Amino acid sequence: MVGYIIRRLLYMIPILLGVALLVFTLFTTVGEDPVRIALGNHASPEAITELRSKWGLNQPLHLQFLDFLKQIITFDYGRSFNTGEKLSALFAQGALVSLSLTLPPFLLAVMLNVSMALVVAYYRGSIFDRFATAFFIMAMSISYLVYIIAFQYILAFQFDLFPINGYEAGFRAIPYLVLPGIIIIFVSMGPDVRMYRTVFLDEIKSDYVRTARSKGAAEPRVLFKHILKNAMIPILTYTVVAIPFLVLGAFLMERFFSIPGIGDLMINAINTGDFPVLKGLTMYIAIGYSIFNLITDILYAYVDPRVKLD
Amino acid sequence: MAQEVLLNVENLVVSFDTDRGKITPVNGVSFQVKRGKTLAIVGESGCGKSVTSLSIMGLIPGANGKIEGGAIEYDGQDLLKFSGTQMRKLRGDKIAMIFQEPMTALNPVYTIGNQIMEVYKLHREMSKKEAFDHALAMLEKVKIPDPKQRMREYPHQLSGGMRQRVMIAMSLACNPDVLIADEPTTALDVTIQAQVLDLMKDLQTDLGTSVIFITHDLGVVAEVADDVVVMYAGDIIERGTVFDIFKDPKHPYTQGLLDSLPKSSDTKNEELQAIKGMVPSLFDLPQGCRFKDRCALAEEACGESSPELEKFSDTHEAACFVTSRNNAA
């Protein structure tokens, strides 16, 4: 097990190196010159040269790349082109905001959607199941934006249940996070319940389910004891790899509800050519994705006795 | 008949609603299982033997399968009139079942011990310790080596034969009156098959269980059965004691099945006799006798109406116009 984890962590090095090279190449060759964006079209050549050397852009490319690698290893991506703030502080702050926006709805949604899928699978083929399927497909066919605007208008504006948008630090943030949280859960319901339902129905056809019934197990026991544990394998794959993306926040949510999370930070960075922010976040996603993939594989071994990590 | 009838299936009709229309895989089937004896149900795939056994278990899936009529009397009560809860109490306790696929019939994520103990948990008031001891004793009974070790192992750690032994241990855990074995040895190697059959016979003698043995393998039938029912496309076409069927098969289909078995007396060059043609699709059954298109003896009358089972002796019945007439002549 320990050997397996070490080996997997070592495999991550060439993968991340590849990602770093790709990211670096893209940012140095494609897109506008950040110095131009910062200073505008009428800047003096002296100002341009000065900013260029300040940002380290006058160095040869291979030295810039080595610099980037050093940043990745030390988790210190320098300072923002825009504000001059330290990125580590900026990321930590944004990640906290984004997580407080996305993590609670994510956990609630997993529990809620798995339970709902079990109920729907239990009543498979019935009118209730068909109604639920139709409802979820309908819900899935409507754009995210429509929900945001409708929920904002009805719940926040008409009924005044929540603030329409905004954010405050600390625990006072909670009222601002409830409505976007509800929307995140609501939007996840359609695709997730249908996905989990399919997983459960695949398992229901298995021979071991027939065996369990022939032993005299009642249907709830068949579902919760026999099927649920087998279904955890695909469910884990689906959910755990989504976790690193939670830190990114929900771009649309953060935009529409003016929540200063990572999503918001990233969109601003794209608009202003703030390359250090983008490079840092891209590397963060790559590292997070690799690590959570590894975590998923380790969890398999706990859920499925057939999986041996060695 | 002196022996006590434990399970009496009367005129059972089971239908399925499918996308292509309604089919009747079991079309008026009657047979009796005697206490402590083995009844073999023989037939090719799709003849309705598995559906019959699932009906007895009360496991015909509700959404598209339906028991249209008949009765399944166990111990004097009609199981078809039982509620879901009543049936569930019976399943695994009084009537148990072993399946064809030992590789997939056990739950992959629970230990062997856990799965056998579950039967006690469902049907017996027992502490965990008692259930464990009982399960362990069952594993010893089915002659699994290192039973204590096996209790903690998962299905994938066992061979096919061992898994089938676990299934047998699980099905016999509550000492059921009736054991339905649906092709229990088909998926096993021939040497393992013989071991498992011997084990089943020994346990049956020990426990006095009645067995319904479902198979397409007449070699196995000769070894285990007391009585035999031959099914074809949802109908019973012949029934009798194992001697009736092997010594003096009446129905051309039964004769064909027996002819298609290799015999030790055959010279090496002699070809095996196959029954020509294929089992008719349940969506498109022929008029009259369902076997007539593959039958060497078929005549015009066979296409007009379906032959009923006719007695040839106290124990022996077959459904064939031609044989009946020849016999009368």
The rounded percent of chain A whose pLDDT value lies above 70 is 99
Q: Rounded to an integer, what distance in angstroms lies between the CA atom of residue B131 and that of residue A107?
A: 37
Residue A198 lies in a domain: yes
- Give the least confident one: A267-271, B1-5, B70-74: B1-5
Residues of B in contact with A124 (CB under 8 A): 63
Place of tokens 């079209």: A41
Determine contact: A197 vs chain B, CB below 8 A. no
* CA pair distance B160, B163, nearest whole angstrom: 5
> Do the chains contact at A216 and B101, CB–CB below 8 Å?
no
Per-residue exposure over A19-36, b if at least 16 CB sit within 10 Å of its own CB, e if not:
bbeebbeebeeeeeebbe
This prediction's pTM:
0.81
Distance CA(B249)–CA(A107), nearest Å, equals 67
Segment B102-118 shows an average pLDDT of 93
pLDDT for the residue B124: 92
Rounded CA-CA distance A283/B79 in Å is 65
B163 touches chain A (CB under 8 A): no
Q: Tell whether B97 is within 8 A of chain A (Cβ).
A: yes
Q: Is position A10 within any domain?
A: no
Q: Distance between CA A289 and CA A241 in Å, rounded?
A: 7
Three-state SS letters, chain A: CHHHHHHHHHHHHHHHHHHHHHHHHHHHHCCCCHHHHHHCCCCCHHHHHHHHHHCCCCCCHHHHHHHHHHHHHHCCCCECCCCCCEHHHHHHHHHHHHHHHHHHHHHHHHHHHHHHHHHHHHCCCCHHHHHHHHHHHHHHHCCHHHHHHHHHHHHHHHCCCCCCCCCCCHHHHHHHHHHHHHHHHHHHHHHHHHHHHHHHHHHHCCHHHHHHHHCCCCHHHHHHHHHHHHHHHHHHHHHHCCHHHHHCCCHHHHHHCCCCCHHHHHHHHHHHCCHHHHHHHHHHHHHHHHHHHHHHHHHHHHHCCCCCCC
> Which 3-state string (H, E, C) describes B136-150?
HHHHHHCCCCCHHHH
**Torsion angles phi and psi, residue B243, rounded to 5:** -70, -45
Q: Does B105 touch chain A (CB under 8 A)?
A: yes
Say if residue B266's pLDDT is above 60: no
Give φ, ψ of B236 to 5 degrees. -85, 125
Residue the block writes with tokens 């380290």: A56
Provide the pLDDT for residue B33. Answer: 93
Interchain contact A229–B (C-beta under 8 A) = yes
Task: Give the pairing type, strands B95-98 and B178-182.
Answer: parallel
Q: Is the pLDDT of residue B329 over 90?
A: no
pLDDT, tens digit, for every residue of A112-140?
999 999 989 888 888 999 999 999 999 88
Question: Chain B partners of A216 at a C-beta cutoff of 8 Å?
Answer: 88-93, 119, 122-123
Chain A CB contacts of B111 under 8 Å are: 305
- Find out whether A226 and B132 touch, Cβ atoms under 8 Å: no
Q: Structural domain tally of chain A?
A: 1
Residue contact A215–B154, C-beta within 8 A: no
Q: What residue numbers bound the domain in which A141 lies?
A: 95-263+294-303
Q: Which residue of B88, B89, B180 to mutate against A (max A Cβ within 10 Å)?
A: B88
Output the pLDDT for position B242: 93
Question: In whole angstroms, what is the distance from residue A181 CA to residue A171 CA?
Answer: 15
Confidence of residue A230 (pLDDT cuts 50, 70, 90): very high
How many CA atoms, within 13 angstroms, populate the side-chain half-sphere of residue B211? Answer: 28
Identify the residue whose tokens are 């964006």. Answer: A37
In a domain, A50, yes or no: no
Asked whether residue B169 carries a pLDDT value surpassing 70, the answer given is yes
Count contacts between A and B (CB, < 8 Å). Answer: 72
CB atoms < 10 A from the CB of A271, how many?
A: 10
Structure-block tokens of residue A278: 């983008």
- As a whole number of angstroms, the distance between CA B13 and CA A240 comes to 49
A151 located within any domain: yes
Work out the average pLDDT over A273-289. Answer: 85
Q: What is the C-alpha to C-alpha distance for residues A123 and A148, in angstroms, rounded to an integer? A: 31
Q: What is the pLDDT of residue B139?
A: 94
In a domain, A100, yes or no: yes
Judged against a pLDDT cut of 50, whether residue B1 lies above it is answered with no
B59 and A213 within 8 Å at the Cβ level: the answer is yes
User: Mean pLDDT, to the nearest integer, of B186-201?
Assistant: 88
Of A211, A217, A303, the CB nearest to B106: A211
Task: Establish if A217 belongs to a structural domain.
Answer: yes
Among B109, B117, B157, the strongest candidate for a mutation testing the A interface, having the largest count of A CBs within 10 A, is B109
Q: Tokens standing for B301?
A: 């009358």
Interchain pair B167, A206: CB under 8 A: no
Q: Is A306 on the interface with B (CB under 8 A)?
A: yes
Average pLDDT over residues A55-79: 83
Q: Is residue A25 part of a domain?
A: no
Q: Report the CATH number at residue A133.
A: 1.10.3720.10
Classify residue A142: in a domain, yes or no. yes
B89, B91, B109 ranked by CB distance to A230: nearest: B109
Q: So what's the pLDDT on residue B3? A: 67
CB of A208 less than 8 A from some CB of B: yes
Q: Residue A218: what residue type?
A: A
- Which of A194-208, A263-277, B104-118, B240-254 has the weakest average pLDDT? A263-277
Select the residue of A215, A303, A305 nearest B119 (Cβ to Cβ). A215
Q: Do A210 and B59 touch (CB under 8 A)?
A: yes
Is the minimum CB–CB distance between A213 and chain B shorter than 8 Å?
yes
Confidence of residue A296 (pLDDT cuts 50, 70, 90): confident
pLDDT over threshold 60, residue B2? no
State how far the Cα of B236 lies from the Cα of B42, in Å rounded to an integer.
Answer: 10
Q: Do A305 and B109 touch (CB under 8 A)?
A: yes
Q: In this complex, is the C-beta atom of A217 within 8 Å of any C-beta atom belonging to chain B?
A: yes
Contact call for B99 and A210, based on CB within 8 A: yes
Q: How confident is the model at residue B48 (pLDDT cuts 50, 70, 90)?
A: confident
Q: Do B110 and A229 touch (CB under 8 A)?
A: yes
Q: Does A210 touch chain B (CB under 8 A)?
A: yes
